[in-house]
A and B are shown apart, each in its own frame.
Chain A
Amino acid sequence: MTAARLAGAAILMCASLFLSLRLTAAKRKRERELYEICDLIRYVRNNIDSFLTPLGSIFSKFSSPALDSCGFVEALENGGLSSAAVSEGISLLSNERRLLLAFSEKLGLGYRDEEIRLCDYYYKEFSEIARREREENDKKSKMYKYLPPLAALSLIIIFI
């Protein structure tokens, strides 16, 4: 009986640690993705500003670790920014997806100066979202780390 209780407590603790790690990783992944979307916008802007490179070529050359692993870059290469914005792997909220879609709808329709202004505007928007996300993550990181194990521990104390 004691062995079963100990096993149950161990499982509970492991599950809570796993949950804690997943939660922290998910929040950090989202933060990285947001910053890499900012990098993408800056990359598009610089390519337009310096070389007037067509969007197809810009997207096909873009690479970034977090956006690569979630399938965003592949969707970007195959279907452009509009299909990347709705790709399932990326952890964007619905308002952020709408913002990215609005950017994709306007991108490529204007001359260089208009495009640069457009990129600057959306870069600022996404930078702000990413900054808020980082601040929130920094504030809550301890909570994400310790809350699930503590919850598990209290459950163990109460029931076992």
Chain B
Amino acid sequence: MNDIDMQKEALSLLPRRLASAVMRGASLRQGVFNEIRMRIGMPLCITGRGVNIPCGVVCSKEDVDYTLRALCGNSLYSHSETIREGYIAAPGGIRAGVCGRAVVERGEIVSVTDITSICIRIPRRIPGAADELYKMLKASSFRSGILIYSRPGIGKTTALRELTALLAGGEAPLRVALVDTRCELAGGLGGCLTVDVLSGYPRSQGIEIALRTLSPEYIICDEIASREDAFAIASARASGVPIAASAHADSLDELLSSEFMNVRGVANAFDVFVCLKSRDDCGRYETDVAYGVDLSSVCAQ
């Protein structure tokens, strides 16, 4: 699916009057948008090239319910687990963040009802966005692990997606295992023949299964955040398979102070740390690169 198809797919999830409003709003930004935000009683808003554009129509409860049904394929129950975690993975790699009223039992969210906000994120292919990252890995004969970090919305997922396409493409494609926990990383990667997509698997289990059953030459996963993820990554690296992953952090200090970075073995799992600072209209990133960061000071166990 190309970007236009993705946008059409996203618009098909909206009631007709909202879809028209999005088209009108997007025309102000040369038709480019990658997020659609709906909140009950508030104006519909789209985000294109980092700019938020109100579309001038107010979302009703019926609009949100309609979109929710469309996102779930009229089967809310089949997405109950992911709704509990705050998102719905729709076909084509489109992911929608949802929030409403959480029902909590013994400190755990058991379900979410009365959904009031939906943020539809449209995955984009930006060929060339990961060229620099690919060169870094190629220089080490694809033996280096790479951790991409930035604040939300800069394009970590896009960078990983493009990196996957490069690693699994070209003249000597690698066997890549893509652990797509939130079902948004693999969107638009239909043409890559040597990518095994573990869609919806919990990250740590996905990495473990990929290692045991798929004999990957490279593992890619998105948004590591827990100690379990870090243990799985350390274990994969100890097995000799490099990993490319992403994490939320605005600086290297913030990244190193996160809980998962305290896990023993993570120090060796990543050889390159790339901070995505911003991205221009052509998809080129402004980056900060750190090689072989000494993590011994933060490794507690």
Binding site for B on A (CB under 8 A): 48, 52-56, 80, 107-112, 114-115
Interface size on B, residues (CB 8 A): 10
Judging by beta carbons under 8 Å apart, are B69 and A109 in contact? yes
Nearest chain A residue, comparing its CB with the CB of B74: A108
Judging by beta carbons under 8 Å apart, are B76 and A109 in contact? yes
> A84–B74 Cα gap in the complex (Å)?
16
Nearest chain B residue, comparing its CB with the CB of A108: B74
Judging by beta carbons under 8 Å apart, are A112 and B75 in contact? no
Nearest chain A residue, comparing its CB with the CB of B65: A109
Contacts of A107 in B (CB 8 A): 74
* Docked complex: B66-104 residues within 8 A CB-CB of A: 69, 72-78, 80
Q: What is the distance, in angstroms, from A47's C-beta to the closest C-beta of chain B?
A: 10
Q: Does B205 contact A (CB under 8 A)?
A: no
Contacts of B80 in A (CB 8 A): 52, 111-112
Judging by beta carbons under 8 Å apart, are B72 and A108 in contact? yes
* Known A108-B69, A109-B69: A115·B77 in contact at CB below 8 Å: yes
Q: What is the distance, in angstroms, from B12's C-beta to the closest C-beta of chain A?
A: 14
Nearest chain A residue, comparing its CB with the CB of B83: A111
Q: What is the distance, in angstroms, from A140's C-beta to the closest C-beta of chain B?
A: 40
- 18 extra A-B contacts, CB within 8 A, seeds A56-B75, A111-B80: A48-B77, A52-B77, A54-B73, A54-B74, A54-B75, A55-B75, A56-B73, A80-B74, A108-B72, A108-B75, A108-B76, A110-B77, A111-B77, A111-B111, A112-B77, A112-B80, A114-B77, A115-B77
Can you list 5 A-B contacts (CB < 8 A)? A108-B72, A108-B77, A110-B77, A111-B111, A114-B77
Among B69, B74, B77, contact of A56 (Cβ-Cβ < 8 Å): B74
* Docked complex: B33-58 residues within 8 A CB-CB of A: none
Nearest chain B residue, comparing its CB with the CB of A114: B77
Contacts of B111 in A (CB 8 A): 111
Contacts of A114 in B (CB 8 A): 77
> A115–B74 Cα gap in the complex (Å)?
12
Which 4 residue pairs spanning A and B have beta carbons closest together?
A54-B75, A108-B74, A52-B78, A54-B78
Contacts of A115 in B (CB 8 A): 77
> A116–B123 Cα gap in the complex (Å)?
34
> A56–B75 Cα gap in the complex (Å)?
8
> A110–B68 Cα gap in the complex (Å)?
12
Contacts of B73 in A (CB 8 A): 54-56
Judging by beta carbons under 8 Å apart, are A53 and B78 in contact? yes
Contacts of A111 in B (CB 8 A): 76-77, 80, 111
> A10–B113 Cα gap in the complex (Å)?
69
Which of B73, B74, B111: most chain A CB closer than 10 A? Answer: B74
Contacts of A53 in B (CB 8 A): 75, 78
Q: What is the distance, in angstroms, from B156's C-beta to the closest C-beta of chain A?
A: 29
Contacts of A110 in B (CB 8 A): 76-77
Judging by beta carbons under 8 Å apart, are B74 and A55 in contact? yes
> A108–B73 Cα gap in the complex (Å)?
9
Nearest chain A residue, comparing its CB with the CB of B110: A111
Q: What is the distance, in angstroms, from B13's C-beta to the closest C-beta of chain A?
A: 15
Contacts of B76 in A (CB 8 A): 108-111
- Digit string of B245-265 for contact with A (CB within 8 Å is 1, else 0)? 000000000000000000000
Nearest chain B residue, comparing its CB with the CB of A52: B78
Which of A48, A80, A107, A111: most chain B CB closer than 10 A? Answer: A111
Contacts of A112 in B (CB 8 A): 77, 80
> A47–B237 Cα gap in the complex (Å)?
39
> A109–B73 Cα gap in the complex (Å)?
10
Contacts of B78 in A (CB 8 A): 52-54
Contacts of B72 in A (CB 8 A): 54, 108
Q: What is the distance, in angstroms, from B81's C-beta to the closest C-beta of chain A?
A: 8
Nearest chain A residue, comparing its CB with the CB of B111: A111
* Docked complex: B252-280 residues within 8 A CB-CB of A: none
Q: What is the distance, in angstroms, from A158's C-beta to the closest C-beta of chain B?
A: 60
> A110–B103 Cα gap in the complex (Å)?
14
Q: What is the distance, in angstroms, from A102's C-beta to the closest C-beta of chain B?
A: 15
